[in-house]
Chain A
Amino acid sequence: MIKDCTRREFLGTLGTAVAGICVSPARLAFASRAPTAPVAVGRCYIYGAEVVQVLSTMFDQLGGLERLVKGKTVAIKINLTGLAANRLRHLPLELTHWTHPQVIGATVHLLGQAGARRIRLLESPMSTAEPLEEFMLQANWEPRDFMSAAPVVEFENTNYLGRAKKYSRLWVPDGGLMFRAYDLNHSYEDCDVFVSLAKLKEHVTAGVTLSMKNCFGITPCTIYGEEAGKDEPSLVPRGGRGMFHHGERQPSKSALSEIDLRSPRDPGYRVPRVVADLVAARPVHLAVIDGIETMMGGEGPWTSGRRHVKSGLLIAGTNCVTTDAVAMALMGFDPIADRGKPPFETCDSTLRLAEDLGVGSRDLRQIEVVGTPIAQAKFNARSA
């Protein structure tokens, strides 16, 4: 928690719009020494067999997967946001706002090939405790395809307790911005390697949703949902994560409540901080962003201004902040931008907050881009 800054008084007089500049000297020191890591950019225009080839090349450019995953249990958080029955026009969900199964399958295959002992696909599908495979079937996907992509592939719906006896409490190093710790499905602790396999999108609340914002969905709605249990987690998840957005209530009492109950209830303040907390508490070892086909104008078909975009991009890195910084640059945004500047017109920058937490650097000057240069692949997300 920021102990050396009178943030409460500061916010009280200046409002939340400038809250982001209130950063402790300790955090500024973190930012200046936030780690960096190379980011690979690949061009890929269709969801065909070439996805494997492009991703394979990119992973090699990052130093190879084997050193990261051999003999390990790898958990992959994919992005299946919203209801499976809601599409942008007639388009299958994977062409707009869900990670495409071809990219998932290719990643699973390459991880398996690199020696991953056990690969677990994770997501917290909206308002249901049904098996993840069933949720996928609802979208006309065939989960068995993933099972044949590597020797051991498992699925888990992480929106509730699942088969574990208890939730895993993951602490945010150095105290956290919104919560000191988060209670999560065991899958996020019981893994050696954590992969965020995201979609390249804008986001109405957080500006962009990339490998970091994808981790917002690791939180179970049984604890952090609008209809979570009051004292104990509910048995099944219902509704969305309104408490993270608006702070209208606190999590189930079994979990830690937010650090400062008087902090702004502004979603543009809260959501980026929760995301930054989460990627600090549950470090991302490999970030992969599917931008072959996607949508802009929002994170799902329920947002206004939504549109289908073919950006022909795959992005990968071993640091989620550097990866998202490059992804932002590819979308035509400045990763150094913060509240008030695109795409963060109404929110704080998750990248800046994560950088402040020491997760990674968003400074392109500090990031080595391998594969396709940004200048060659850059597009304008706002006019695409």
Chain B
Amino acid sequence: MSLNPNWIPMKWTGGPLGVQRRAKAQTFTPEVKGMLTARMDPASLELVRGTPVNCLVVEWAAGEPANRDQQSALVPLIEAGRRIGISFVGRVERTADLRAALAAGLQAGLSGVLVEGSSAQVEDLPVILQCSRSNIPWDSHVPILSVTDNRWPGLEIHETEETPDAVTGPTGVPWVNSNGWFSMLARQLAAGKALWLDMDPPPQIEHWRPAGYSAAVADSYAYGTRWMISLDEKLSVGAHRRQPEAIRVWERVVAIMSFFKEHADWAGFQPQGSLSVVSRFRGEEEALGGEVLNLLSRQLVQYRVVEKSRLASTSLEGLETILWVDEEPPTSETRSELLDFVTRGGLLISASFWGPPDCKPLVADYSDHYKICGLGKGKIAASKDGFHDPYQVAVDTHLLMSRRSDWVRLFNAGTAISYFSADPNSRKELVQIIDYRTSGVSEFVTAWVRTSNRSARFWSLESKEPAPLQGVPAGTGVEFHLPSLSTYSALEFEHRGVG
């Protein structure tokens, strides 16, 4: 048995252990108990048969003898699942004897185990490590990493006694929770590995579904990571009982997963943008660096993520701006590379000034908070006060580089985020748009794209085939008038046209 990075995972909580763990929850009802018990029945696999889901993550307990009931209950399910092409991964608690649990699991038909913690000795074993974002062993040799403490994607909702309101940011634009930026970061830090996002629907899921589930899938798959599908208890009970409303939501989830399965090549496309955000993204730099990425995404700024130790091996082609987030100046070698980038016409934005003393001071054309100087054909903008507020860093970066550097602008889509990626081999470009609104559709959305392509293919979940779209030139790009926008849509360009 080995781990398959192409698995499409889903949590399959149930069995005696599942019942035991949820028995004290306020939401625990006879219906929930029935659903958890029934999940061990091979017949329950009908829900996932024929869907893109091909890996179920089950509770393998602590791998101790006391958990034998759980493991015994799983055996028929695993056998039946394997016959229809479904693999199983057992979740093992960190207190367990990993080797013993793994051995028992493999014998029962598991393909591997998922274990919490980053320090487990897992060389050559079919183990998926699951950690919080701060503790991910990016450099480990496991093919699949699972990450916890993700945000449930969607609008930040302020619960009131009357109606739920979307929380707005400083500019009045709705606040969006997304893991997209983290997926981009993870793809840089764990290149070649599959990344699973572990997150459960929030208790107030009623406000989100079914759009919430669609957004949860799109928010990870569009960026090349995989949400470990997790249904809330109400939906799970409904799906188990084949209730029409629940089945309708589930079919929506299946449809969007099928869409991404059909476009699996898109997951390999590389992020595009004229901005590169460079940081260590770990330790003291993790919080600021991550939040800057998050907020740049919210401003629709298209960027590439570079972990600073990899800067030397990263192509700077097409870049106009580099944001050096960390307070710590670069090594002399990296500094030379960055200053060379500036000399050739680039803009370097940094938390402090470490440019050459003879850098020619320029009048700040945006903010007095930056010392701006010219070097060769380019400029250095160094913060006078350091970087403290990630929102301000993101806003300043966007304005220092100027909106002339924008690659995508969206009109009438205040709840959406866009992601521009491209495949250098096929010369295809892709603008994916995820709308995080809780219900309905966004009408009259216009996407402006920095491209010379006047035609694009418009993909949506509502149609099997793409719709041809003709754009209208507007400034340095082309505007595309989109049909109604639901949770996910994409503009695909056949050849490179970014100007």
Contact = CB atoms under 8 A, between A and B. Distances in A.
A127 interface: yes
A128 interface: yes
A140 B172 contact: no
Contact of A137 (B406, B410, B414): B406
Contacts of B365: 131
A85 interface: yes
B172 A138 contact: no
A299 to B, nearest CB: 17
A239 B172 contact: yes
Interface string A130-150: 110010011011100000000
Contact of A85 (B170, B402, B411, B474): B411
A85 B414 contact: yes
A377 interface: no
Given A85-B409, A131-B399, A140 B475 contact: yes
A272 B488 CA distance: 44
Contact of A238 (B170, B409, B413, B474): B170
A86 B411 contact: yes
Interface in A135-192: 137-138, 140-142
A239 B169 CA distance: 11
B171 A137 contact: no
Interface in A103-129: 126-128
Given A127-B170, A140-B475, A238-B170, A87 B412 contact: yes
A140 B409 CA distance: 9
Contact of B403 (A89, A92, A137, A239): A137
A134 B402 contact: yes
A90 B403 contact: no
B403 A86 contact: no
B17 to A, nearest CB: 49
B171 A127 contact: yes
Interface in B27-82: none
Contacts of A130: 395, 399
B368 to A, nearest CB: 8
B369 to A, nearest CB: 11
A127 B173 CA distance: 10
A239 B172 CA distance: 7
Contact of A140 (B399, B413, B414, B448): B448
Size class of the contact patch on chain A: 20 to 34
A54 interface: no
A142 B403 contact: no
B485 to A, nearest CB: 12
Interface string A71-106: 000000000000101110110100000000000000
Contacts of A89: 444
Contacts of B412: 85-87
Contact of B172 (A127, A131, A137): A127
Contact of B474 (A83, A92, A126, A239): A92
B444 A87 contact: yes
B320 to A, nearest CB: 15
Interface string B397-417: 001001110100111111000
A137 B366 CA distance: 15
A127 B477 CA distance: 26
Contacts of A86: 411-412, 414
A90 B411 CA distance: 8
Contacts of B366: 131
Contacts of A140: 409, 448, 474-475, 477, 479
A128 B406 contact: no
A85 B447 CA distance: 10
Nearest to B405: A137
Interface in B441-499: 444, 446, 448, 474-477, 479, 481
Nearest to A92: B474
A236 B310 CA distance: 37
A13 B365 CA distance: 56
Given A128-B171, A140-B475, A239-B172, A90 B444 contact: yes
A227 to B, nearest CB: 9
A238 B172 CA distance: 8
Nearest to A93: B411
Nearest to A239: B172
B317 to A, nearest CB: 24
Contact of B446 (A83, A87, A134, A141): A87
Nearest to B171: A127
Contacts of B474: 92, 140
Interface string B168-202: 00111100000000000000000000000000000
Contact of B399 (A90, A92, A134): A134
Contacts of A141: 475
Contacts of B395: 130
Interface string B143-159: 00000000000000000
Contacts of B172: 83, 126-127, 239
Interface string B359-392: 0000001100000000000000000000000000
Contact of B475 (A131, A142, A239): A142
Given A85-B411, A90-B479, 6 more contacts: A86-B411, A90-B446, A128-B171, A138-B403, A140-B477, A238-B170
5 contacts: A83-B171, A85-B413, A126-B172, A137-B403, A138-B409
Interface of B: 170-173, 365-366, 395, 399, 402-404, 406, 409-414, 444, 446, 448, 474-477, 479, 481
